[in-house]
């Protein structure tokens, strides 16, 4: 399913990993994007369309849970079955050193008009340490400038992760992991794995 992806480490404006090679194998990526850019997604259940999730108030998250797995057919079912193995989390651990034990896999489906202002993922989940691993599922390089913008507490753009096909990046949230997405005018899907580690009497690293 996945390639022998290589990463580079950024330390400014905060620590994050960015892939320098593709994440999914070409065949898998083609099959997944064929699904994502079809009407097959029309029947997928949006879990947060009531605005209750402070991190994603626009309701664009499709949880890949047991129910979604049982409903999936064809290659999508094969892919979901693979997510229930430990190959993906082992890859993430090797790349990041973060053990994913309490995590969710999801599709992040952003539609025209979507945007996100500056946020650090801490305010939305104050009692948890969040590590996000995201793979951009672009069809082409026509919208590379719509990738996430990153900053420190200044909230002045200092870098960008390009929105290009099969491109992965990862970070662990803390008070200065500020990032945002400019308003888009196209369909912008991605695959995301998010670890939620409960903080109990621990000081969050800054």
pLDDT at 51: 60
Give the global pTM: 0.92
CA nearest neighbour of 113 among 52, 152, 59: 59
In 79-187, DSSP assigns E strands to 103-110, 116-119, 128-136, 149-151, 159-160, 167-172, 178-181
> Does 11-198 carry CATH code 1.10.390.10?
no
**Number of C-alpha atoms within 13 angstroms, CB side, residue 67?**
8
pLDDT at 127: 86
Residue 24: DSSP 8-state: B
pLDDT at 162: 98
- For the chain, give every domain's residue range: 11-198
pLDDT at 60: 81
Q: Do 129 and 160 meet the contact criterion of CB atoms below 8 Å apart?
A: no
Regions of the chain where pLDDT drops below 70: 48-59, 200-206
């Amino acid at each position: 399913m996945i390639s022998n992806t290589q990463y580079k480490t950024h330390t400014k404006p905060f620590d994050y990993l960015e892939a320098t090679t593709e994440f999914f194998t070409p065949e898998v990526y083609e099959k997944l994007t064929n699904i994502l850019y079809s009407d097959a997604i029309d029947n997928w259940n949006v879990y947060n369309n009531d605005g209750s999730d402070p991190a994603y108030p626009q309701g664009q998250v499709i949880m890949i849970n047991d129910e979604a797995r049982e409903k999936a057919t064809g290659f999508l079912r094969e892919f979901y079955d693979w997510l229930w193995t430990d190959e993906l989390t082992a890859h993430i651990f090797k790349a990041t050193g973060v053990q994913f034990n309490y995590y969710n896999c999801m599709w992040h489906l952003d539609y025209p008009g979507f945007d996100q202002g500056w946020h650090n993922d801490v305010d939305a989940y104050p009692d948890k340490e969040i590590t996000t691993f995201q793979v951009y599922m672009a069809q082409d390089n026509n919208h590379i400038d719509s990738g996430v913008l990153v900053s420190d507490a200044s909230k002045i753009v200092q870098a960008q992760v390009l929105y290009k096909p099969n491109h992965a990046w990862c970070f662990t949230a803390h008070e200065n992991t500020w990032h945002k997405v400019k308003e888009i005018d196209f369909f912008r899907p991605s695959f995301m794995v998010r670890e939620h580690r409960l903080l109990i009497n621990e000081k969050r690293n800054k």
